[in-house]
Chains A and B, each alone.
Chain A
Amino acid sequence: MKISYYPGCTLRTKAKDLDDTARLCAKALGVEMEEIENWQCCGAVYPMATDEIATKLSAVRALDYAKHNGGKLLTLCSACHNVIKRTNEDMKTNADICSRANNYLKLDEPYKGETEVLHYLEMLKTVVGFDTIKKAVVNPVNRKIGAYYGCLLLRPSGVMAFDNPENPTIIEDFIRAIGGTPVVYPFRNECCGAYVALKNSELPKAKSKKVLTSAKEKGAEEVITACPLCLYNLQVNGENILPVRYFTELLAEALGVKA
């Protein structure tokens, strides 16, 4: 099957590994990720101030494109997913934001949140199925792996509806599917320090170290994430306590589709 795909800027540059492996794996699993046309940067953070409209328009454009191209929009970077999913919720439920955004965009037909936003992990779970992945594994990743969810996939849970915000299981299920042993540790849903890295690097240092220490204490040998910024903070500010990789890299390893 084909699915409209929004890569986002980081996946074109620093996080190329994430993008490449994701595409290869999807193909191997029978899903064709069709990159949407003329996408623009989502802004990387969801603008919470209620008067922010212009900063949400690129997300709305992508959503509208997907509405006319299959009705689903696949995301991979946690930040893009967070911004696009929350903006979509605004378009669905906030009449004020919806009408103002549509006034700007002057689309043929107003966009009202019709597109379904799907994260790559959700795609693996619901479209492909973890059982199918399990069968496709040729090279089981037989290691103890800590899933790092961070914030963006989970919160606010009312909108993201991704998983239980305090006790998520989807990445653990994924780890099991590729032959690994998931290690559950309490800081897997705590913040890595995020964008504060540019302002006050001591804070992400403390946070990232705490995340990795927590994973190590519970026995993890490595940590996986879906977010380039999390990866950066955990690797650079986490002082190499544990190796950190994108979850798609492990999937590629398991499926034997290394580029």
Chain B
Amino acid sequence: MTKEERIENLKTLSGTDVRKCMKCGKCSGRCPAFKDMDIKPHQFVSMLEKGKIEELLECKAIWNCLSCMACVERCPRGVAPAAVVEAVRSTVVRAQGKNGLKAEDIPPIVDELIPQQLLVSAYRKYNK
């Protein structure tokens, strides 16, 4: 895939129109994971719009975004920053050897309280 195709692919996967963004920053004003996002929610939108996808595909924020939809809920322009994060995360974990959560990492942290829901959701989010 050429870079242009990869950009287009990310835009399609996100299903959101990044050109609708008016750069108000409300998404980043609301994000509860802001401190743990090395690329901020508003930057996901603007960087995809400008085609700076290498930085997006390398960032740590995709592992910390909570998919809590606060940014989506409050965007005044109907843009979905969380969907851009998900598009980037999906693209990363679908690549060979890029799973964000390895099975062998799990046992030490599993306690008897951990609900299945947590294991399933983390696997769905972090693995292909």
Contacts and interface: CB of A to CB of B under 8 A. Distances in A.
- Direct contact between the two chains A and B in their complex (CB within 8 A): yes
Interface of A: 8-10, 13-15, 41, 43-45, 47-52, 55, 77, 79, 151, 154-157, 165, 190-191, 193-203, 207, 227-229, 231-232, 235-236
Interface of B: 12-15, 32-33, 36, 63-64, 66-70, 72-73, 80, 82-83, 86-87, 90, 100-101, 106, 109, 111, 113-122, 124-126
Given A156-B69, A190-B32, A191-B32, A198 B118 contact: yes
A43 B120 contact: yes
Given A165-B73, A228-B117, A47 B124 contact: yes
A157 B73 contact: yes
A9 B123 CA distance: 15
26 contacts: A8-B117, A9-B116, A9-B120, A14-B116, A15-B117, A44-B121, A48-B14, A48-B86, A49-B14, A50-B14, A50-B15, A151-B67, A156-B69, A156-B72, A190-B70, A191-B32, A195-B66, A195-B125, A196-B64, A196-B66, A197-B122, A198-B122, A198-B126, A207-B66, A228-B115, A232-B115
Given A196-B63, A200-B64, A229 B117 contact: yes
Contacts of A195: 66-67, 118, 121-122, 125-126
Given A44-B117, A195-B125, A229-B117, 19 more contacts: A9-B117, A13-B116, A43-B121, A44-B121, A45-B67, A45-B125, A47-B86, A48-B15, A48-B67, A48-B83, A51-B12, A151-B70, A190-B70, A194-B121, A196-B122, A198-B118, A203-B64, A207-B66, A232-B114
B13 A49 contact: yes
